[in-house]
Amino acid sequence: MTARIEIDALGKPCPMPLLLLKKQLKQNNLSQNYLLKASDPNSEIDITRYCQIHHYTCTIQKISSDEIHYCIEV
């Protein structure tokens, strides 16, 4: 079973959630599962588009009005 890497981008404006995800992807060359926690609603556009371009699976879960979780499978 692959461990999930958690990325906390709560309170950080765009494009920081995407930049933090890219940083983790660069550090981990193997297939991984990522949990990206973000609060900026605009991050949804950036994260989902990035995942589409790179053929990553991205599941979005809105925890509250100011917290969104992205489960990303690489």
In this structure, how many other beta carbons lie within 10 angstroms of the beta carbon of residue 27?
9
What domains are defined for the chain?
4-73 (3.30.110.40)
pLDDT in tens, 11-61: 999 999 999 999 999 998 778 899 999 999 999 999 999 999 999 999 999
What percent of the chain has a predicted confidence (pLDDT) above 90?
Answer: 89
Query: Which tokens hold the place of 61?
Result: 């879960």
- Of 57, 65, 58, 5, the closest CA to residue 29 belongs to 5
pTM over 0.85: yes
